[in-house]
Amino acid sequence: EHYGTPRGAACYSSTDLYNWKNEGVVMEKGTIETFERPKVIYDEINRKYVMWFHYDGNGYTLAELGVAVSDNPRGPFILKDHYRPNGHESRDIGLYVDPETRTAYIGYAADHTNRTVRMVELSADYMRTTSNDVDIQAHCEGPGILKKNGVFYLLTSQCSGWTPNPGTFYTASNIMGPFASHGSPFIGDAGNNSYNSQPCYIFKIPGYKDAYLYMGDRWNGSGRSASQYVFLPITITADSTMEIHWYKEWDLSFFTPERKRPAR
Ligand code: DGJ
């Protein structure tokens, strides 16, 4: 929530990805000096919503993960812990649940001020990081993750503060890497800056086949008020290439609805 004095994480809800309702601040940051990149997953077993975020001080030198929990996506989320995972610096994060195993992972911009990206597996209740934590041979910030046909795709930005730069996508057959680099997925990106955005998250749109949504932050200067989101469809081609094309306007008819099971 960056309007006025930042208060923490705001939640917006939608049933169609076009119309959004402001649900208000769901986690107050209180005395946390820097609260960035919150992401929430649902633990179906314990029926908890678990939020992970970048917990830091004003100088970005604490470099920790924060974890908070709520019974409701509309909050309130209560801070449970904050620390460096297995002793590693952690700043931008991508939170990902493997749709087949329901195991959750955090990809995080890590040591030497974001010179590495690490992947850490979470505990079964999504509340703790485990010791399965490796350098995945990828680089930089804003990690977003998807999986298609057994291949994991990782999208990151480079490291240039709040200024947009060309993104890079990586592929691996194991989420713990190593990931191979394939350059920018942004096709015809005249400004060479990911269409003036930075990867924030990749969302699998339910109800549509292979429907992955690129969610990018279009920071406003230093990332304060009036920053915007850029939403674009992600295409994975037959030869396992990630492509993100620019559309001034588009809608969900871009994707193929998943066929409903016939009623018996
Ligand atoms: C870029 C990161 O992606 C943002 O989340 C933020 O940490 C800024 N750097 C800070 O300069």
Q: Report the nearest-CA residue for atom 8 of ligand 1.
A: 161
- 134: tokens are 């490796």
- 217 C-beta closer than 6 A to ligand 1: no
Asked if 94 and 104 count as a contact pair (C-beta separation under 8 A), the reply is: no
167 Cβ inside 6 Å of ligand 1: no
Report which ligand 1 atom has the smallest distance to the Cα of 37: 5
H or E segment and range at residue 229: strand 228-236
Ligand 1 mutation target, pool 2, 34, 35, 36, most atoms within 8 A of CB:
36
Is ligand 1 within 6 A of the CB of residue 53? no
Count CB-CB contacts under 10 A for residue 79.
18
- Encode the chain (264 residues) as per-residue pLDDT tens digits: 455 677 899 999 999 999 999 999 999 999 999 999 999 999 999 999 999 999 999 999 999 999 999 999 999 999 999 999 999 999 999 999 999 999 999 999 999 999 999 999 999 999 999 999 999 998 899 999 999 999 999 999 999 999 999 999 999 999 999 999 999 999 999 999 999 999 999 999 999 999 999 999 999 877 667 889 999 999 999 999 999 999 999 999 999 999 877 776
Structure pTM?
Answer: 0.95
Q: Are 233 and 213 in contact (CB under 8 A)?
A: yes
**Ligand 1 atom at minimal distance to the Cα of residue 159:** 1
Residue 254 CA to ligand 1 centre (angstroms): 31
